């Protein structure tokens, strides 16, 4: 039997449409693969019965020549998305066995297009983390290993489950979400493609909130084209989200093959950081070369406030989180630890329900919003945010897209960075700027490190110009010819 799980989303959709195989067949293969890959800990809820029932429904439609754009395609869903009747906890103990009675807009859009749900994917608790080590269900293991080294590596975070599931062929593609790099960094760590669209492209309705002004849905997939297909289906204008943009979703799939001839690609000098590894630098130079050869004009640009981005991000995001997560008080749903009085119940519930990293960020967020500190921290961070946005606006006067590395390093082993929060936060140094400015950013695998691990390049586009990300991303993908897969060891 052919290994249908190895197909790209585009190829699988073609095969389903051509009735080369049924949705039940491919779904069953994924169900089996998931069962065999529990070591990776990518899925926190498996929904095989639901998946097969959805597959059968898709097959009935496909048989009649009907069906949506994703008809019959088995996908994994990050546990951040509320899914009706399927436990949703954002991988936090505080949500207990919470099972929504409602569906997030993004996942509803996927089901409306005929997608099949395989289950819920592991993630850092409330999407706070860059290594998936903060999940209530334990870390996800990266399918990739260093050459000649059997140590488990992190798939990155917070969408570590999504990235590992895609890299390990445990779904055709997955939903993910990105607040400071949570799509792009795990994609880079696992040799997959991930895009965070412009803020407001996809609805946040039914997504468990981390930092409202930064959170954005997006896909992780095997190819740039697959990301285009899935992102198109995820995005929509939603009256239930006041920050959702009332714009048409373009045909991004066709952008992937357009090439970069005549495009001006900006190279920000501030992203060349001290202590950045030589292999990352080399990869970046290689990316520049590929685009030049493909007919793009390379432009040196400056984003002068870049160095303030990470500190600003680690003020704004925790501030919003400290308020967004106040609703987890044990009063209406989720886990409750009863105390002798109301305060004791609050304290017990929140101390017991939130993990250490979440507690750290809630305390930081509470602190920076406190009377007497608000101006010095939160307000100043918001001003920095405006400056960062203006940097991009100015830079885009002279370029159409910006090329940077996705991360300062390849995947690391568990425990290597979890001892020092600041070192962990530095993972986001290249990705947070796009969140702060609300811009689209894609990560594309472009090569292997000396230790044999995938490395990613990031393309940042103008607001609403995901098309540029897909054009440049598509070109990088073709030039890199990245076909390496993790050896199946699990």
> Which residues are known catalytic residues?
78, 158, 182
For residue 32, the 8-state DSSP code is H
Q: Which residues 137-156 are close enough to bind another protein by CB under 8 A?
A: none
Does 172 engage in binding with another protein (CB under 8 A)? Answer: no
Q: How many other C-beta atoms are found inside a 10 Å radius of the C-beta of residue 247? A: 13
- Interface pattern 49-88 for another protein (x via CB under 8 A): --------------------------------xx-----x
Q: Which residues 187-226 are close enough to bind another protein by CB under 8 A?
A: 204-209, 211-213
Does 302 engage in binding with another protein (CB under 8 A)? Answer: no
370: region left, alpha or beta (phi > 0 left; psi from -120 to 50 alpha): beta
Which of 374, 394, 415, 490 binds another protein (CB under 8 A)? It is 374
Nearest CB to another protein, comparing residues 209 and 448: 209
Does 326 engage in binding with another protein (CB under 8 A)? Answer: yes
Give the whole-angstrom CA distance, residue 239 versus residue 237. 7
* Shortest distance, position 168 Cβ to another protein, whole Å: 27
Size of the site for another protein (CB under 8 A): 43
The stretch near another protein (CB under 8 A) out of 69-77, 137-145, 235-243, 476-484 is 235-243
* Shortest distance, position 316 Cβ to another protein, whole Å: 9
Give the whole-angstrom CA distance, residue 326 versus residue 7. 42
Which of 21, 333, 414, 425 binds another protein (CB under 8 A)? It is 333
Give the whole-angstrom CA distance, residue 383 versus residue 350. 32
Give Cβ neighbours of residue 14 (< 8 Å, ≥ 6 apart). none
Does 358 engage in binding with another protein (CB under 8 A)? Answer: no
Does 319 engage in binding with another protein (CB under 8 A)? Answer: yes
* Shortest distance, position 141 Cβ to another protein, whole Å: 27
Which of 17, 38, 261, 327 binds another protein (CB under 8 A)? It is 327
* Count, residues in the chain: 490
- Interface pattern 83-102 for another protein (x via CB under 8 A): -----x-x----x--x-xxx
3-class DSSP state of 454 = strand
Nearest CB to another protein, comparing residues 73 and 211: 211
Does 386 engage in binding with another protein (CB under 8 A)? Answer: no
HSE-up of 86 (CA within 13 Å, CB side)? 26
Q: What is the residue-wise DSSP string for 282-325?
A: HHHHHHHHHHHHTTPEEEEE--TTGGGHHHHHHHHHHHHHHHHG
φ, ψ (nearest 5 deg) of residue 218: -175, 170
Nearest CB to another protein, comparing residues 249 and 382: 382
Please check whether residue 152 is in contact with residue 490, taking contact to mean a CB–CB distance below 8 angstroms.
no
- Interface pattern 237-276 for another protein (x via CB under 8 A): --xxxxx---------------------------------
Give the whole-angstrom CA distance, residue 89 versus residue 357. 16
Q: Could you tell me which of 120, 173, 165, 119 has the C-alpha nearest to residue 140? A: 165
> Which residue's entry shows tokens 């600041």?
422
Nearest CB to another protein, comparing residues 191 and 206: 206
Does 23 engage in binding with another protein (CB under 8 A)? Answer: no
Q: Where are the beta strands (DSSP E) in 106-228?
A: 116-121, 173-178, 193-196, 216-221
Residues that bind another protein (CB under 8 A): 81-82, 88, 90, 95, 98, 100-102, 104, 204-209, 211-213, 239-243, 319-320, 322-323, 325-327, 329, 331-333, 342, 346, 366, 369-371, 374, 378
């Amino acid at each position: 039997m052919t290994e249908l799980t190895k197909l790209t989303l585009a190829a699988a959709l073609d095969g389903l449409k051509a009735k080369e195989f049924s949705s039940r067949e491919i779904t069953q293969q994924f169900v089996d693969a998931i069962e065999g890959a529990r070591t990776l800990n990518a899925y926190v809820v498996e929904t095989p019965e639901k998946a097969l029932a959805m597959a059968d429904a898709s097959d009935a439609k496909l048989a009649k020549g009907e069906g949506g754009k994703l008809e019959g395609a088995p996908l994994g869903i990050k546990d951040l998305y509320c899914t009706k009747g399927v436990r949703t906890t954002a991988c936090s103990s505080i949500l207990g066995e919470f099972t929504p009675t409602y569906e997030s807009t993004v996942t509803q859009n996927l089901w409306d297009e005929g997608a099949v749900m395989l289950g819920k994917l592991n993630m850092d608790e409330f999407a706070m983390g860059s290594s998936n080590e903060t999940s209530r269900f334990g870390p996800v293991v990266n399918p990739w290993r260093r050459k000649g080294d059997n140590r488990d590596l992190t798939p990155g975070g917070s969408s570590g489950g999504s990235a590992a599931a895609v890299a390990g062929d445990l779904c055709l593609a997955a939903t993910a979400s990105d607040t400071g790099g949570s799509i792009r960094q795990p994609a880079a760590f696992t040799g997959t493609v991930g895009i965070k669209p412009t803020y407001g492209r996809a609805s946040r309705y039914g997504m468990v909130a981390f930092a409202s002004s930064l959170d954005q849905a997006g896909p992780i997939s095997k190819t740039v084209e697959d990301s285009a297909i899935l992102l198109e289906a995820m995005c929509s204008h939603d009256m239930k989200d006041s920050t959702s943009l009332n714009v048409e979703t373009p045909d991004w799939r066709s952008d992937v093959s357009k090439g970069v001839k005549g495009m001006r690609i900006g190279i920000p000098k501030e992203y060349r950081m001290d202590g950045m590894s030589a292999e990352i630098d080399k990869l970046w130079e290689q990316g520049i070369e590929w685009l030049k050869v493909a007919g793009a004009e390379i432009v040196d640009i400056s984003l002068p406030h870049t160095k303030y981005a990470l500190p600003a991000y680690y003020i704004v995001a925790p501030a919003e989180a400290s308020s967004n997560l106040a609703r987890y008080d044990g009063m209406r749903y989720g886990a409750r630890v009863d105390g002798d009085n109301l305060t004791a119940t609050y304290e017990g519930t929140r101390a017991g329900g939130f993990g250490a990293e979440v507690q750290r960020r809630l305390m930081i967020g509470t602190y920076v919003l406190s009377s007497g500190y608000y101006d010095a921290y939160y307000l100043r961070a918001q001003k920095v945010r405006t400056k960062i946005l203006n940097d991009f606006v100015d830079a885009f006067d002279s370029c159409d897209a910006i090329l940077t590395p996705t991360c300062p390093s390849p995947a690391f082993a568990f425990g290597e960075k979890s001892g020092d929060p600041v070192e962990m936060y530095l993972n986001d140094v290249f990705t947070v700027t796009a969140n702060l400015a609300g811009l689209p950013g894609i990560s594309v695998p472009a090569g292997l490190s000396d230790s044999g691990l995938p490395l990613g390049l990031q393309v940042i586009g103008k607001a609403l110009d995901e098309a540029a990300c897909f054009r440049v991303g598509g070109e990088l993908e073709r030039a890199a010819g990245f076909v390496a897969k993790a050896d199946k060891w699990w």
